[in-house]
């Protein structure tokens, strides 16, 4: 709760309730789940450093970014869809299909850059189909993207059910290299990868689009009330198709980042990632009903999930089987938090 006090300039030493009231008066209540996510993330960092050590250091933190770049990218894409009150279940399967196609094409001798473009285009195409089904054929987002999920997974399995390896000398691998920014003592280096750069670019573009453009305001308006948005003359149909195209395209980008890092693609890649991404978005404070949320919140949400895995691995005493239980628990707490916030605002 201390982090919130920084948001309310007049000193409020009279307890949490008063702080909450002040925050609410100033209309910051909406940001509470996001702030809570940030607090949890910092708390996990501090706890991890105290309990296990070697957490707050270049090596661990840069690995956290490198290993979760694809999740951050997915979460940004899903933020757009969820803000309109929709959902995209297809991202994990789109990644599988796009990755398998990409590796097969590279190994068939295609130009790596052309392959990257093709992989991203596959994502856009899936998103476009979802969007058209949702907007022009009245199919519910849940069902339309479920169909795309089945389609992506099935097509990937038709192409190959074996792990497809990138050739070691392939130019595509250059996207998976890591750059050493700071050469620390021993293995404590600050490294970033092209994937991290891609994630940062995606986040910045997402921030700009959602918070600084007419398109972004339309996205929020649709989530608030689609009917009102229509009556105000906003381009609702076009925007709704676009959010699915964005989500699909970013799934394609995530496929490039992930495939380049691992050098392997398989038809079972990305199973359950749509749920991780949805969890990241929700933990980051975006309302599943749409209309409220932040891109940066989703980034924090993705990092919370990534850090949780790191801590569980470090602890060693927590059985890895419980990871999903803990994810579920965190998700549950945050949804309850959102629920209280929404109640307070009424």
Nearer to another protein, 155 or 196 (CB): 155
- Whole-number minimum distance, CB 146 to another protein, in Å? 6
With H, G, I as helix, E, B as strand and everything else as coil, classify residue 164: strand
- Whole-number minimum distance, CB 249 to another protein, in Å? 20
Nearer to another protein, 187 or 288 (CB): 288
Whether the CB-CB separation of 247 and 88 falls below 8 Å is answered with yes
Residue found under tokens 């969820």: 82
Nearer to another protein, 72 or 155 (CB): 155
Distances (CA, A) of 229 to 129, 139, 339: 23, 20, 24
Nearer to another protein, 46 or 268 (CB): 268
Residues 269, 67: Cα–Cα separation, whole Å: 15
Distances (CA, A) of 209 to 77, 214, 242, 243, 305: 11, 8, 12, 11, 25
- Whole-number minimum distance, CB 151 to another protein, in Å? 4
CA atoms within 13 A on the CB side of 189: 11
Cβ neighbours for 20, distance < 8 A, ≥ 6 positions apart: none
Nearer to another protein, 176 or 284 (CB): 284
Whether the CB-CB separation of 141 and 91 falls below 8 Å is answered with no
- Whole-number minimum distance, CB 180 to another protein, in Å? 36
Interaction site with another protein (CB under 8 A): 87, 93, 133, 136-140, 142-144, 146-151, 153-155, 157-158, 161, 267, 275, 278-279, 282, 288-289, 319-329, 331-332, 335-336, 339
- Whole-number minimum distance, CB 56 to another protein, in Å? 28
């Amino acid at each position: 709760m201390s982090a919130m006090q920084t948001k309310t300039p007049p000193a409020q030493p009279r307890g949490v309730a008063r702080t909450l009231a002040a925050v609410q008066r100033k209309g910051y209540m909406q940001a509470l789940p996001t702030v809570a996510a940030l607090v949890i993330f910092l708390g996990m960092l501090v706890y991890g450093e105290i309990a296990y050590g070697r957490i707050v250091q270049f090596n661990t933190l840069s690995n956290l970014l490198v290993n979760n770049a694809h999740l951050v990218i997915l979460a940004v894409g899903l933020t757009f869809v969820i803000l309109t009150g929709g959902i995209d279940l297809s991202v994990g399967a789109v990644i599988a299909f796009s990755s398998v196609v990409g590796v097969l094409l590279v190994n068939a001798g295609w130009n790596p850059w052309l392959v990257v473009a093709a992989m991203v285009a596959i994502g856009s195409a899936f998103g476009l189909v979802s969007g058209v089904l949702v907007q022009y054929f009245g199919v519910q987002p849940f069902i339309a993207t479920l169909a795309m999920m089945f389609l992506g997974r099935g097509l990937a399995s038709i192409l190959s059910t074996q792990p497809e390896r990138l050739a070691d000398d392939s130019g595509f691998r250059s996207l998976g290299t890591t750059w050493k920014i700071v050469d620390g003592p021993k293995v404590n280096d600050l490294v970033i990868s092209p994937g991290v750069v891609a994630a940062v670019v995606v986040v910045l573009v997402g921030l700009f689009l959602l918070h600084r453009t007419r398109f972004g305001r339309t996205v929020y308006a649709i989530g608030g009330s689609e009917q009102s948005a229509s009556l105000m003359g906003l381009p609702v149909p076009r925007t709704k198709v676009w959010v699915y195209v964005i989500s699909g395209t970013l799934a394609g980008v995530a496929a490039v980042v992930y495939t380049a890092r691992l050098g392997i693609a398989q038809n079972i890649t990305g199973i359950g990632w749509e749920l991780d991404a949805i969890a990241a978005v929700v933990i980051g404070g975006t309302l599943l009903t749409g209309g409220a949320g932040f891109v940066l919140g989703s980034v924090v949400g993705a990092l919370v999930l990534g850090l949780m895995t790191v801590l569980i691995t470090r602890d060693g005493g927590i059985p890895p089987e419980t990871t999903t239980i803990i994810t579920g628990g965190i998700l549950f707490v945050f949804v309850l938090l959102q629920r209280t916030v929404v109640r307070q605002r009424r």
